[in-house]
Structure 1
Amino acid sequence: MTTFTPTTAEETLDAVRWAVSEETPLEVLGHGSKRGIGRPAQTEHAIDLSQLTGVTLYEPEELVLSVRAGTPLAEIEKLLEAHNQEFAFEPMDYAPLLGGEAGRGTIGGMLAANLSGPRRIKAGAARDHVLGVHAVSGRGEIFKSGGRVVKNVTGYDLSKAMAGSWGTLAVVTDVTFKVLPRSQTEATLVLRGLTEEQAADAMAVSMGSSGEVAAAAHLPESVTGRVLSGALRGRGSTLLRLEGFGPSVDYRFARLADLLAGFGAAERLEAEDSRKLWREMRDCTPFVDGTQRPVWRVSMAPSQGHRMVMALRMQAAVDAFYDWQGGLIWLRMEADPEAETLRALVAAHGGGHATLARAAPAIRAATQVFQPQPPALAALSVRLKEQFDPHGLLNPGRM
C-alpha cells in the first residue's frame, strides 16, 4: 500500500494525478478520526493530509480565517479562543464516540463531514460558514471557489458542495471560514422529570419565546446520568442554553423560568458547567462507552422525533437522547443496527435522515450507512460526481 503525505497543494495535485494515470483509487484522510463512518475504504492507496498544515491568513478584526486542510481542529480552536472568537457552529468531535483520541479531527475533515453541534439550530453547520476552498478534483485538476470575504460567490458555490461530500468529490487543500466572537458567558436552564412528550412541548415553547435560546436538548432518565460526571442523574433533564452578556443572560433566564413554570421549577447551571455539558452533548458523550454497539444519528422534524422513538422502542432495544430541540436524535442499539425498521419509522413520521454513525466494520459493509436519496436527488449526485471525479477514484464506496 502506498500512502502519499503531501505538504503542499502541488504535492497533493501530483498524488491525485498519479492515481488518475494509474486508474487506482485513493482513500482521502487527515488523522482518520472519522474513518469509522461510512462503508470501509475499498482502496490500496491513500492520501494522508495530516502534514498539510498551517494558518495562511487570520484577520480577527475581519472575522476571517484561512487554513490548510490537515491542520488539527483543536489547534485552531485554541487560536480562536485566544482572540475570544470561535466557530459558531461548534463542530462535533467524532473521535471519542468511535474509540479514538479526542482532538484529532482536521479542518478539512470538518468541512467534508459538514460538522455542527448543539448550536446548529441557531448558527447552522460548517456549510453555512465556509467562505472558500482550494481543492484538487478527481480529474487531477486544481480549482478554487469563493474567497476571503463574506460576499464573494457568483455562479455555483462549490465550497458548499464540498460540505458533506466525505472526500468523494475532491481533495480540499485550503479552506477559509467565517469566525465569530464568543459569548461573554452562558447558563443552562434545566427542567427535571419531564416525559419526552412534555420535553418536546417545553423546548418548542422556549424556542418560540424571546429568550434567544441557543440550544435545546432532552436527556431521558436512562441517559441523564452520563454527563457532567453524573451530576444530573436521577430524573430526565430538559436543557435550554442561554448565551450573551451576563445581565442579559440573567434577565432572559428569569423570564424563561417564569414562562416554563407550568413544566416545573427551573434549575441553573452556571457558565463552566454549562460549557462542559454542551461539549458533552456535542460529542455524543452519553454513548461514548468503548463499544461498537450501533449508534444512529437521525434528523427529522422536532415535533415528530419523540413519537418516532416511542414507536421504535416497541420493536427494538434502543437508548436515545435528543438535541436541536428534538430534531436530532442519537440512538444506540443493543446489537442489530435495525436499519430497515428505523428508516421505515422515520419515513412514517414525516421523513428525515438516518446515518449510521458507529458500528463494527462488518455491519457498516452490509448496511446503507447514509440515508438513501430520492431518485431525482440521487441522479443529481451522480452527475455532480461525474463532473468532479468521473473515474470514481476518491474514497470509492464510502457513501
Structure 2
Amino acid sequence: MKALTWHGKGDIRCDTVPDPRIEDDRDVVIKVTACAICGSDLHLMGGFMPTMEHGDILGHETMGEVMEVGRGAASKLKVGDRVVVPFTMSCGECRQCKWGNWSVCERTNPNGKLQAETFGYPLSGLFGFSHITGGYAGGQAEYLRVPFADVGPLVIPNGLEDEQVLFLSDIFPTAYQAAENCNIQPGDTVAIWGCGPVGVLAIKSCFLLGAERVIAIDTVPERLALARQAGAETIDFGDEEIQERIMEMTGGKGPDSVIEAVGMESHGADTIAQKVSSAVMSATVSMERPFAINQAILACRPGGTVSMPGVYAGPVGPFALGILMNKGLTLKTGQTHMLRYMKPLLDRIEKGEIDPSFIISHRSVSLEDGPALYETFRDKADACTKVVFKPHG
C-alpha cells in the first residue's frame, strides 16, 4: 500500500509499504477513506519529537471502512462499518480508563518504560507519533491497523460526509476540551493564541459553551479570516502589541480565560529580545519555544484559567511560572480524553450545530501529493489552513 513516511527532518515521502494485518484479537483493519495532516505532524516534520525512525508511517487523524475484524473486537464492530479512529489508544480496563482519563491509559503503549524515563509514567499509545508513544503505524495510508478497536473507534451513521466527521479523530475534541477546561461562564471573554485548525475550532467550541466574546491572535491572513468567520475578534500579532491591544479591547479587565493552541513552535514578536531569542531557539531542537504560552499567561486576568492544548515534547525556554503563580491562575493541560467527547460532538454535528469541515482548504485523492502538501501546510502557503486526503478517491 501507499503511505506517507518520515525519513528525517523536513523529509516526508510517499512510500510503498506492507499492508497492515490483524496482530491481536482486539484489532481491526480499516480502508482509509479520509485522513488529514495535523499541526502536530509538523512538529515531527520539524524534527522536534524524539524517537522517530526512518520509514515511520505518519498520521493520526483518520477514518475509514472496517475490512477485517479480530475476534475480540467483533462485539463492537463488523466488516463494512464506517468508523472514526481516535488518535489516542485506550484499553478500557486500567484505572485511568476507568476514571475517564483516556489519554493517559496505562496499558496501550508497548514502549511505556521508554516513555516513563521522560515523563515518569507510561501514557496512552498514539498513532503515527514516534516510538516513545508506542511506535504504532499512522493513518496517512491506504489502510490502517487499529489496536484496541473494541474501545476506541466511533461508528458513524449514514447521512454524514467523511469531511463532516473526520476531525472527531483529534482536533475537534481537542478544541472542545480546551474550551471546556476554561470553565466558561455566561458573559466570559476568552482569548486564543493560534488560529490554526485547533484554534479556530476552539473559537466555535467556546461559543457553544456560552462565551460572550472570543479574541483570537495570529498573523496569517487566511487564519485570521477563518477566526473572524467563526465569530472571533482578531489581533494580528505582527502589527500590534498583544497585551496593550487586549487591555484596550477588554476595558482593562483582561480575558477570563486563555487558550494556547500553538505549542512548541511559537514565535516571539512583541519585543526585540523575543525576536532574537525566537531566532536562536528555532535552530535548537532540544529547546522548545514558550512565547505563546507566556503571552497567554500575561494576558489572562488574575484568578483566571490558562488552557493549553498546544503540544510540547520536552524542556522549554524561559517559562513565566512566577507570573502564573502570583496571578493565582489555574493551568489545565493534557492530550485529549477522546472518548469523553467523540459521541457528544458527533451528536452536535448531526443536529447541525456545527460542521467542522469549514476549515479545509486543500484536498487530494493521492497520497503522492503528500510531501508537497506537507510543505504547503508548514509554510502556510497557497492560503493553506487544513489538508485532507482521500486515498481511495
Instruction: Name the TM tier (shorter chain).
Output: under 0.3
- Relative to total residues, which structure has the larger strand share, 1 or 2? 1
Give me the TM-score of the superposition, normalised by structure 1.
0.27
Larger radius of gyration: 1
Give me the TM-score of the superposition, normalised by structure 2.
0.27
